[in-house]
Each structure stands twice: as structure tokens, then as C-alpha cells.
Structure 1
Amino acid sequence: MKVIQSISLKKVMHYAKPYQKRLYMVVLFSITLSVFAAVRPYLLKQTIDTYLKVHDQVGLLNYIILMGVVLVLEVGSQFFFTYWASWLGQDIVKDIREKLFHHITTFRMKYFDTEPVGKLVTRSVTDIESIASIFSQGLFMIVSDLMKMTVVLGIMFYMNWKLSFIVILGMPVLLYATRIFQQKMKVAFEEVRNQVANLNTFVQERVTGMKIVQLFNREEIELEKFKKINELHNKAWLKNILYNSIFFPIADILSSLTLGMVVWYGGWNIMHGDTMTTFGDLFAYTMLIGMLFNPLRQIADKFNVMQMGIIAAERVFEVLEREDLVQENGNVTAGHFKGDLTLENVHFSYIEGEEVLKGINLDINAGETIAIVGATGAGKSTIINLLNRFYEISNGRILIDGTDINEFDLYSLRRQIAIVLQDVFLFADTILNNITLDNPDISREEVILAAERIGVHNFIMSLPGGYDYNVKERGAMLSSGQRQLIAFLRAYVSNPSILILDEATSSIDTYSEELIQLATEKITKGRTSIVIAHRLATVINADKIIVMDKGQIVEEGKHFELIAKPEGYYKSLYESQFLSNEIS
């Protein structure tokens, strides 16, 4: 575990390389802070023994001024040390957070299928902030305190070695207590981090699915679940509080006992004429003991802060180093495709041993509109996921214009493919930004022109602010049909080579469907289109219909060809689903 923590700390410090000058300044101010802090008690001793004892008012005033100057320098060093250390920490975590976010966006969909959203939020926000504390409250503070203790011990032995020996007698006990405290707190912090992640995951999921919670009257049930998770979180923190409540009083008692022994022994020496010990020593030692024991006591606390930061770093780097889930990138830049699609013996499994696609062979000519139909779980949407390389196929090949899609650069490949999903996701932003997705190559004028062409412009302009209307999180201010229209326009303005409609018209009203049918005619014209069919009109107009069942293609052909098969699978679907929709 120590080796892992050391490695994690080295990885974090690697991000400090671009800020080496700032790092050197932190070290410099740490040194000056230690020196100025330790010099003040010595100046106090000199003031008492040299000037106060002989009533030298001028010398006393000069030393008091000198102590004031040293105090100002100490305060200044403290300010710059704290500011620069925190600044360095924030810049480092900014870099790590950006790298983490970019890394997460390159993961295959398989990762997001199994990892809770709340966990990733915790890694990207809470854990990253904990890493910042390594610099602002942990590592540099510990180094500064150790340097201060070293200088203080040196001054103590220079002043009075007898009193210094009494001081260090109590330190082994405090060091042992500190060690035990660190071990206990490390376990406690790990438990706290786990419970925080669990709490974040639970709250994230329930807030996202609040409509389901309320629709099925699960408020009380979810509250009871939350209470259990919150209780575990509370118990984890109570352990942390308990250990702090035990350690810090012990440290205070040891410091007080040491001070009492020094005052007693030093006073006894003075009363018996020991010239080695002076009143100035006793005054100085009352300050020096606090400066020696307080940092040692605080080091334990700061060490725990650093431990929490290192544990958080381990979690963050665990995600950062998941290279096995990073999507492979090709070296061929995809231009505007002609649109020929070929699937050769494609096999795929989401879970090993459970094939979803079982040797799919399919040819789609450029410019054709293909409809894929079949029961739920037949593998229709899986084909779309593989085409966009959200997942990697188990066996076989997918080719576009004769080139394996694995050879294409992902960015350029996906720029040529537009998808309209049944469940439309909109960001908490304006309609315009949700359409362009902040693509600088798509102007406002182009969006408006495209909206007019497919008949969506009037609908958008009817909203407050028009194209600048904020749809809020997940497009909550729009109906499902309106969200579909925005998604369709988003696909249209991207001018894709290949268009995919995945159940895109399955949950919209009649008016919205009419608009989408108009848009479909325009956007699919002369463009390869794949439609995972739900509505009858889309199926009838397709150049070819692919019928799937249990991961295999069981039929293909035009509507009138398939409907003419007496015992055909498509005919059965038509009679049970499409015909009933037509009658209703």
C-alpha cells in the first residue's frame, strides 16, 4: 500500500513540472517561514537576558523593533507560501481534471454501461479537489512544519541543551501516537471516500429518475434506502471524528506536561545558581515548545489530508490509466462518403458468451434508404452502435466505401454519420447551441435556413427567445415531439454522408410526425439512410426492408415483396403491429 501511495504521489507531482518556478518559490518561502518563526523566541530570550535585566531601554526598544520586523517577514512568508502552494495545487488539478474529462470522453460505451454516473462525477469533482489539498494543506505544509521543527530544535540545543533533552523526552510518545493515528485515519478516510461515492451515485440516479420515483409512489421507499446509505456515510465520518477526539487531547497533554517539566527544571536550576539557565530561556522555551509540538500534532492532521488526497489520486489515476477501454483510432481521415455500406459476417456480444449479432451479412448501396425491423432485442440498434464504433465487433468487418471502419480516424468517421435517437438528449443550453453543438462551422443563418427547409422554423420562433430559448437540463422545457424536431434539425445541419434514425418517430404527436416526415424526405434524398422502423409510413417508403430476429437477418426485400409471403416474419409483424397502427 505504501508503494502504491508513493507511486500515486509521484504521478501527481509529475503534473507540477510545467510549474517548476512556482514550486521553487514555495520551497523558498517555506524555508524563510521556518527561519523567521524560530528566530522570534531567540530574540525574546536576548531581549530579556541582555536588555530587560539591566534596564537598557534603548536596547530593549531596538530589539522590540527587530522582533516586529521579523514578525512582519514571518507573516509575509506565510502569506506567499500559502498563496503560491494553493495556486500551484489548483493549476495542477485543473490540468488533471481536463485530462480526466478528455480521457472519459474517449472510452467505449462498454465502460458507461457498467460504471455508475455518480462514481464518475465523484472522480471528476470531489476526488480532484481532494488532490488539490495535497498541495494547499498537505505535502508542502508538512515539509514546512518539518523544517520549522528542525530549526526550532537546533535553536533549542544552541540555547540550552539540558532543557532541550527534557523536551525531546516526550517526543517519542507523541510520535508513536501520531503513527497510530495516521494508520487509523487512513482506513477511516478510505471508508469515507467509498461512502461518498455511493451517496453521490444514489442521489444522481434518483434525481435523474425523479419522474419514475414519483410516478410509482416510491418516495418513502427511496427515502428508506437513502437513510441506510446516509447512515453508513455518517458512521464512516464518526470514526474519523472519534480518532481526532482521542489524538489531539493526548497531544495537548504531552505538550503541557513537557512545558511543565521544563519550567520546573529550569526554575530549579535558576534558584540553585545554574548560570546555564536564564529567565530568558524559560520565556523562549514556552514559545519554542509550542512551535515544536504544535506542528508535530498538526502534521498528523495534515498527513491525513494528504492521505485523503493520495487515495483520491489513486482513484482518479485508476480511471486515467484505463487504456484497455479507450477506443482505437485509425489513421485514415474520412471525407464525405459515397455511402456504400457492407457488413461481412459480423458477430458481437455485449456480454462474453451471449451473442447479440450472429453473423450478419448486409450490403447497402449508396443513396438507399434501408429500414430495419424486428422484435425488441433482435439486434437492430446494436448494428448502429457498431457502425459508429461505440463498441468493437467480436468478429467480421464493417466497411464504408470499401474501407474497414477501424481504419478511419474516429472524429472524422463520426462527422459523416448523424443519428436521431428515440430518447433525445438535450443540454441545458439554447436551442441554437443544442443544434450546432458549438460547431463554429455552422452559422446561425445556416441553422435558420435549414429549419425553414424542413418546416421547423415556425415552431422554434413560437418559443420565448426563439433560437436563444434555453431548454434547461435534458430539454425539460420541451415536449418529446419538440425534442425530436430539434434532434432532427441537429442531424440535418451537420450534412452527414450517412443518416440513421433509431426509432426516431416512435413517441411523437401527429403534427410533429408530419414535420419529421417532411424532413425525412429532404434529408434522406441522395444520402444513405438507415431507419430502425417503428411507423408504417417509413417502412413502406424504404428501398429495402431488413427483418431481424434473435441477432440474425431472417428476411429482406421491399414492402410489397415481404407482405406477399404467406408465412413471412415481416407479414406477421405487419398484421400484428403495423396494421393495427394504421387502423387506429
Structure 2
Amino acid sequence: MKTYFRLLSFAKPIGKYAVPYIFTTILAVIFGTLNFALLIPLLQALFSEDNTKAILTKPEFQYSFEYFKTLFYYHFYQAKGTYGIYGSLKFVSVIIVCSAFLSNLFRYLSQRFMEELRVHTMQNLRVSVFENVMNMNVGFFNNERKGDIISKVASDVQVVQFTVTSTLQVIFRDPLQLIAYFIFMFTVSVKLTLFSILAVPIAGIAIAALVKRLKKQAQSLQESYSNMISFLDEALSGIKIINAFNAVPFIKQKFKDENIYYSRINYKMIRRQQLASPISEFLGIVTVAGILLYGGYMITHGQSGLTAAQFIGYIAAFSQVTRPAKAISEAFTYINQGLAAGERVLELVDTKPQIVDKPTAITAELFRNKIELQNVEFSYTDRIVLDKVSFEINKGETVALVGPSGSGKTTICDLLPRFYDVNGGSILFDGADIRDLKIDSIRAQIGLVPQESVLFNDTIFNNIAFGKPNVTLEEVIEAAKIANAHNFIMETEDGYETNIGDRGAKLSGGQRQRLCIARAVLGNPPIMLLDEATSALDTESEKLVQDALNRLMQNRTSLVIAHRLSTIQNADKIIVLEKGKVIEQGSHQELLTKEGLYYKLINMQSFGAEA
């Protein structure tokens, strides 16, 4: 129940929907029960000539059930006395029609309020999950499967919507309807009602045994579904590799196996869920048969004051008890699936980002001096990536990071905007530890051009103006010109309003990279982090991109990860890394003179270029 109430907390303000729902539901139950209570006088009018119990005096008004009952019978016998049996039939029929209309009207209104509550809850829950995911640091996504996150945000929330929140309707309305029916039945016959209640615990035990394993199966079902989503995402992302390696049959079989496993669990759950309704209905019919026998015996042997009309009305009311009882049993079978999905969603909601602002964090002032790395240490789990790395980046300098793969170049670029936090040492921003500064104020001063072009399925304009809603077309065009992108943009079908497809699939690699540069230019940050992305481009695209990068770095402080060493020979400082340590630093000429690792890397690339 703790999970259930946690999920309901997303319905706030719940009173806005719950109060009118409760009010309309109570009225629907009252008028719904009244329909069956009116069967007794209707049958009496048809089959009984006995007027000895006729109420001849109009009762005095008071707030009680007895008053309204007496008032009804007063008018009933007045109509019967004045207009005969047919007149009383018309009177009762009109009351039944009005009662049925009001019952269904209030039932419709209550369903509307519940639907609004359900949608409102789902909306709040999904937004909360997504916002929390967006607050996670980059390291979180390295340890989680993207498909599992997508499944929780999309599928699991949907399951919660149609099970947990929808059962609110059943949990309140149907027990209330059951209570109303039993109150009516107790007023007709205490003995018969006590006899009928004996079936309730029997049905409860049967349903409880049936749904015992449903929650565990539901958890397995949701996990299997998230595995399929993860697999689908990976298959779509790697479709070229799958085709290139003739791995289509292998991928098909892998997906088929997971789908069979998911279907098998789903089938077992459905089989259990569908058993609940027939069992509860069968037990209800058995009880009705027992009531017929027991009630008939009491009437025929004179052991009950029941009239035939009252007995038939009682049977009619009890036959309706199975409907809400059936709904409750079904709700308990489905709610386990909702709770299992809800636990997965809440697990994501409760996950806290590892990198957050300190309560005492202050806003970083505009960068004016230097960035210092002092004995920085960092590791991914047990693997040490950076080992006491120290160097400075002065304002206006271009500093390049070079070294073999795995030497820690990209990690340093990730530490500066606090995608990760250092394990040891510190990074100083104008003398202040970045952990003492607000994350947003640091990132606002840093522009990033990653090695892999990250673009969105949107227009060129929106990709360049990403995250800046008030940017004008003129500003976007100016940024595109600096990035050498304006000319090719104007050659597209709709210019800056051209949609570039999923991840920019409609553009070449060089065009995608120039859009990323334009996006970085538009923010006009004082610090640039450039994971040079020219190595995978053709000669013409490389020249255009490199020219755009050179423009981007003008009058800015830049940290460049160099893959092609020829592009960073003019850097003010080159930091050479190997196995997470700084082994050399200096200008291009100074490092060549030392004839160390940098010298070897230059010769290797030069030899490769000549070959």
C-alpha cells in the first residue's frame, strides 16, 4: 500500500477531483440501489390486494431514511386508493425511471471526474520521472540501459495509469455500492443477508490465492518489455553495422526469443487475471441458488415474515451484488501489475543525481583569469583514468590535449563542466573550486563541440538555436556564417526551416559538424571545449570544418582534444597524456625538441600520411 499511496501523491491537488467524485458517486449509488428497492412496492401493486398496512397520514418532515420511506408509501397507497392498481404502477414506474436517470447521470459525472484525476496523475508522474532523468549526471546513463529508461517513462507510467489510478474508481465506488445493497437487504431480511455473507470470505480466499503470484510475474513482464525496447533501440541505431555484418537473421532471432519470453509471462498473467471473474461470478450464482432454497424454505414453512414481493426484490438486489464484487476481484488482479510498474517508476523518481550544487554554492562570475587542474584524480569504478593531473589554461589561450586512446583526454573535457566530479585534487575556476560554484553558471560560460555530432530531428534553425528560445533569425544566420554553414543551408529545400531528420541523417558528416559549431558560436561563450571532429571527414569537409573551428577559437579560451596533430601545431600549449598522467607539456617546437612521446606521435602520423 505504501507504493500505492506514493503514486497517489502525484494526483495533487487530489481534492479538486476527489471531492466531486465522491459526491457524485454517493448519489449514483443511492439512486442505483433505490431502483431495486422500488421493485417491492411495484410487485405489491401488481400481486397484492392487501391494504392493511396502508399509510393514510402524511408523515412530518425529518432528516431520516424512515421519513422518506414512509413518505413514498404514503403517496403509493394514495395513488393506489385513488387510481387503483394501474395508478400505483404508473406512480412507481415514474419514480423508477427518474431514479434510473439520476443514477446514470451521476455515474457519468463521477466517471468524468475520475478520468480527469487519472489523466492529471499520469501527467504529473510522467513529468516528474522525465525531469528527474534530465537532472541525472552523465555517469548515470553509462550504467543504465536507455531502453529501460524509455520503458519506465512511457510504458510503465501507462500501466500505472490504467491500473493503479483506475482502481480508485473500483476501490471507492464498488465497496460503497456493496454496502448500500447489504443495508437494503438487511432491512428486508437479516437471516437471509447473514446467510449470503458467508460466501464473501470464501470468494476472498479463492481470489487471494489466485493473485498471489501476479505481482512477481508483473515485475518480470515489465523487465522483459524494457529489454525489448533496449534491444529495439540498439538495433535501429546500429542498422548499418547489422547489415554490413550480415547479422540480420541473428538480430531477428534474438528479438524473437525475447518476445516469446515476454509473451509467455503475459499469457500466464492473463490466465490468472481472467480466472478471477468467472470464479467470483460462479460463487455469486451458487450463493443466489442457496438463498433461493433457504428463503423459499423459510417462506413455505412460515419461518419468515417475508412477502413474495419482498423475497423477489431481495433476490433482484442480491443478483446485483455480484457485479461490484466481480469488479473488486478484477481490480485486485490488475492492481498487482500496476504496483509492479509503479515500483519501477518510483525507483527512477527516487534516484538522486550524484552531482548537485552545494547549499552554499555561489554563481560563478564571468571568466577573467585562468582554469587550473591541481593533482586531479578520477576513475571509473576500479579503473584509474587520471592520476594527479595538473596544468593551467590561461584566458585567451588555446590548449591542446594529445595522447593515445584511453589516456584521459575526453575525461578532462567532461570534468570541466562537471559532467563528473573529481575523485581527488581540484579544478579551480578563477581560483574557486568548481564544486563550490553553481553548475549552471559554469556551463553557461562553456561551449562544447563534441566529436560526434549531436543533432535533433528538427529544423536547422531550431538545432542551431537549441536551448535559446528568444534567438532571432539574424543571430542564427550570423552564427552559421562563422561556422561555414550558411551556404549549404541556403541550398537546402526550405533553408533554415529544413528538417534534418533523425540525428541529422539528411546531412553529410561535415554539414552536421558545422551545425554543431554554429550552435556553439551562437551562445558566444568565453570558453570552448573542442573534441576535434575532422578525422572522419573527407578533405574538403575537413578544411571547411577546421576553418570554422579556427574562427570559433578566435578571442576565446579553448581546450582542444587533438586527433590530427597537424591541426594543433599553433596551440599556445600542448598537454601530452599517457595512461592518465601528464608526461609532457609545452609548445609544438618545445615538444619536438624533447623528442618524447609527442615527437613519436608526430612521426607516426607523418609516416602514415606519406604512406
**TM-score, length-normalised on structure 2?**
0.90
- What does 1:100-249 align with in structure 2 at a 5 Å threshold? 100-134=129-163, 136-249=165-278
Q: Do 1:85 and 1:135's aligned partners in 2 also have CA atoms closer than 8 Å?
A: no
Q: 1:23: which partner in 2? A: 18
Counterpart CA distance in 1 for 2:163 and 2:282 is 29
CA drift at 1:136: 4.7
SS in 1 for 2:455: coil
Q: Do 1:88 and 1:135's aligned partners in 2 also have CA atoms closer than 8 Å?
A: no
CA drift at 1:463: 1.0
Q: Do 1:89 and 1:134's aligned partners in 2 also have CA atoms closer than 8 Å?
A: no
Counterpart CA distance in 2 for 1:280 and 1:213 is 76
- What does 1:35-46 align with in structure 2 at a 5 Å threshold? 35-46=30-41
> Which of these residues, 375, 383, 400, is aligned with residue 345 of structure 1?
375
Letter in 2 for 1:152: Y
> CA distance change for structure 1 residues 339 and 118 in 2, over 3 Å: closer, same or farther?
farther
> CA distance change for structure 1 residues 304 and 244 in 2, over 3 Å: closer, same or farther?
closer
CA drift at 1:67: 1.0
Determine if the alignment matches structure 1 residue 577 to structure 2 residue 605.
Answer: yes
Q: 1:3: which partner in 2? A: none
> Which of these residues, 5, 9, 13, is aligned with residue 10 of structure 1?
5
Counterpart CA distance in 1 for 2:517 and 2:499 is 18
* Deviation per residue, 1:258-297 (Å, 9 max, x gap): 2222233334444455662333334323432232222222
Which shows bigger deviation, 63-72 or 437-446?
437-446
Counterpart CA distance in 2 for 1:546 and 1:171 is 78
Counterpart CA distance in 2 for 1:557 and 1:318 is 49
Q: Do 1:137 and 1:305's aligned partners in 2 also have CA atoms closer than 8 Å?
A: no
Gaps of at least 5 residues in structure 2 are: 50-83
Once the two structures are aligned, what percentage of the paired residues are identical? Answer: 32
SS in 1 for 2:166: helix
CA drift at 1:419: 1.0
- What does 1:352-391 align with in structure 2 at a 5 Å threshold? 353-391=382-420
> CA distance change for structure 1 residues 279 and 366 in 2, over 3 Å: closer, same or farther?
same
Determine if the alignment matches structure 1 residue 332 to structure 2 residue 327.
Answer: no
RMSD, aligned α-carbons = 2.0
- What does 1:463-542 align with in structure 2 at a 5 Å threshold? 463-542=492-571
CA drift at 1:529: 0.5
Which shows bigger deviation, 324-333 or 173-182?
324-333
Q: What is the aligned residue count?
A: 576
Counterpart CA distance in 1 for 2:485 and 2:567 is 19
Q: Do 1:481 and 1:507's aligned partners in 2 also have CA atoms closer than 8 Å?
A: no
CA drift at 1:462: 0.8
Q: 1:260: which partner in 2? A: 289
Letter in 2 for 1:342: E
* Deviation per residue, 1:90-143 (Å, 9 max, x gap): 112212222221111111112100100111111111122222235652123122
- What does 1:397-476 align with in structure 2 at a 5 Å threshold? 397-476=426-505
Letter in 2 for 1:310: L
SS in 1 for 2:528: strand
CA drift at 1:465: 0.7
Q: 2:116: which partner in 1? A: 87
Q: 1:289: which partner in 2? A: 318
Letter in 1 for 2:354: L
> Which of these residues, 25, 34, 55, is aligned with residue 29 of structure 2?
34
Letter in 2 for 1:17: K
* Deviation per residue, 1:200-234 (Å, 9 max, x gap): 22222222222222221111111221122112111
Letter in 1 for 2:378: F
Which shows bigger deviation, 461-470 or 251-260?
251-260
- What does 1:546-557 align with in structure 2 at a 5 Å threshold? 546-557=575-586
Gaps of at least 5 residues in structure 1 are: 1-5
Letter in 2 for 1:68: V
Q: Do 2:355 and 2:421's aligned partners in 1 also have CA atoms closer than 8 Å?
A: no
* Deviation per residue, 1:533-577 (Å, 9 max, x gap): 0224422121111111100111111112222333x1111111112
* Deviation per residue, 1:307-358 (Å, 9 max, x gap): 322222222221222225353356322343125111000000011x321000
CA drift at 1:51: 4.5
Counterpart CA distance in 2 for 1:312 and 1:250 is 26
Counterpart CA distance in 1 for 2:143 and 2:600 is 36
